[in-house]
Amino acid sequence: MTELFDKIKAVTELDGIAGHEHNVRNYMREHMTPLVDSVETDGLGGIFGIKKHADANAPRIMVAAHMDEVGFMVSSIQADGTFRVVGIGGWNPLVVSSQRFTLYTRTGQAIPVISGSVPPHFLRGKDGGASLPNVSDIIFDGGFRDKAEAEQFGIAPGDIIVPKSEAILTANQKNVISKAWDNRYGVLMVLELLEQLKDTPLDNTLIAGANVQEEVGLRGAHVSTTKFDPELFFAVDCSPAGDVYGDQGHIGDGTLIRFYDPGHILLKDMRDFLLTTAEEAGIKYQYYTGKGGTDAGAAHLQNSGVPSTTIGVCARYIHSHQTLYAMDDFLEAQAFLQALLKKLDRSTVDLLKAY
């Protein structure tokens, strides 16, 4: 598990929000290039390694993570040197206050900032006490004297702000606490998949990599699915665990069979294929109803329709500085994805697409 944790630490501590995924993309390019026949990018910056089958009629299978994490973007610099922001991806305002972040300027300089909060002293005597702020009203503070000093450090509207957090193991050594497991889980899944299959012949052409801008509307999946024209699409993404709230998604209970979310319904034949493969391979899995979407929701509507699914895990407290998740779930999901890909020959894919 030590080796796995080291890899998790490396990918989760990369910084990259939607439109600024370059750090993650460069990391993926470096690690996937020796493992595939070619590496290609799309027009928005998605990156994919291709293991090409010699038979031109072999099915084209796409496995896609997304590189971006949630963060913020500077919308204005105030006269007092503090910043106002827009959220990039979904944030619960309750988890934003009094946290450390890193602001990146146009030149790439990393500047420490914190999100503001209201001390209880300033709330005394106020009817109703504290209220839930809008993200656009939250103060971000780098300790600058005024707007002019902030600008002297190269800060400008459009600069990005990313959570500052270090990956650590829990006391039982089974779980990890970090930022960005949504969706550096998927990034690591793709890289581990390519590493494990580098010397394994497949009965398909594998297109494995990561999209951009998932957290702001599944944008990259529209582009990459159109470019690479797969016959099947597998998103690899992390979903919110509901175990501590009495809901679906329990960390440590295995990979997720995500049969429904607001943007995607799992097709019957794909559902049967997933369940049969999981049972044959001895994969630990759990059923999951999603309340948000993944790139499968965008991919399945492209071209003439692409049967899609999500190979996922769950994690507690996602879209925050401190997400908690089980390493064993990653291993189950990885074994599941490999088992699926090894079965996807022309006849199997044709059956999955026969209506």
Average pLDDT (249-276) is: 97
- Considering the domain architecture, whether residues 92 and 55 belong to the same structural domain is answered as no
254 domain residue, yes or no? yes
pLDDT of amino acid 124: 60
- Considering the domain architecture, whether residues 34 and 146 belong to the same structural domain is answered as no
Tens of pLDDT, residue by residue over 256-267, are 999 999 999 999
214 catalytic? Reply is yes
Q: Is 149 annotated as a binding residue?
A: no
- Considering the domain architecture, whether residues 8 and 20 belong to the same structural domain is answered as yes
329 domain residue, yes or no? yes
Average model confidence (pLDDT) for the chain?
95
Q: What is the rounded CA–CA span in Å between residue 301 and residue 324?
A: 32
Binning pLDDT at 50, 70 and 90, where does residue 119 land?
Answer: confident
Structure-derived torsion over alpha carbons of residues 122, 126, 129, 133, reported in degrees to the nearest 10? -70
Which residues, listed in sequence order, are joined to residue 104 by a DSSP beta bridge?
A: 110, 160
- Considering the domain architecture, whether residues 203 and 151 belong to the same structural domain is answered as no
Average pLDDT (111-125) is: 79
- Considering the domain architecture, whether residues 273 and 309 belong to the same structural domain is answered as yes
Does the pLDDT of residue 134 top 70, yes or no?
yes
Q: Are the C-beta atoms of 146 and 79 separated by less than 8 Å?
A: yes
How many structural domains comprise the chain?
A: 2
Q: Is 237 annotated as a binding residue?
A: yes
Query: Between β-strands 255-261 and 232-240, what pairing exists: parallel, antiparallel or unpaired?
Result: unpaired
174 domain residue, yes or no? no
- Considering the domain architecture, whether residues 132 and 42 belong to the same structural domain is answered as no
- Considering the domain architecture, whether residues 57 and 78 belong to the same structural domain is answered as no
Please identify which of the residues 69, 192, 214, 231 carries the catalytic annotation: 214
Average pLDDT (273-283) is: 98
- Considering the domain architecture, whether residues 269 and 130 belong to the same structural domain is answered as no
pLDDT of amino acid 283: 98
Does the pLDDT of residue 137 top 90, yes or no?
no
Does the pLDDT of residue 125 top 60, yes or no?
no
The more confident residue out of 204 and 126 is 204
pLDDT of amino acid 1: 73
- Considering the domain architecture, whether residues 137 and 194 belong to the same structural domain is answered as no
183 domain residue, yes or no? yes
173 domain residue, yes or no? no
pTM of this structure: 0.95
Q: Is 215 annotated as a binding residue?
A: yes
- Domain interval for residue 142: 71-163
- Considering the domain architecture, whether residues 208 and 299 belong to the same structural domain is answered as yes
Q: Which of 79-93, 125-139, 197-211, 217-231 has the least mean pLDDT?
A: 125-139
3-state DSSP call for residue 251? coil
- Considering the domain architecture, whether residues 118 and 262 belong to the same structural domain is answered as no
Residue 134: give its domain's CATH number: 2.40.30.40
* Closest by CA position to 169, among listed 293, 27, 327: 327
Q: What is the rounded CA–CA span in Å between residue 44 and residue 176?
A: 31
Binning pLDDT at 50, 70 and 90, where does residue 123 land?
Answer: low
Binning pLDDT at 50, 70 and 90, where does residue 118 land?
Answer: confident
Binning pLDDT at 50, 70 and 90, where does residue 88 land?
Answer: very high
Q: Is 127 annotated as a binding residue?
A: no
172 domain residue, yes or no? no
pLDDT of amino acid 132: 76
- Considering the domain architecture, whether residues 15 and 100 belong to the same structural domain is answered as no
Residue 47: give its domain's CATH number: 3.40.630.10
Q: What is the rounded CA–CA span in Å between residue 338 and residue 220?
A: 24
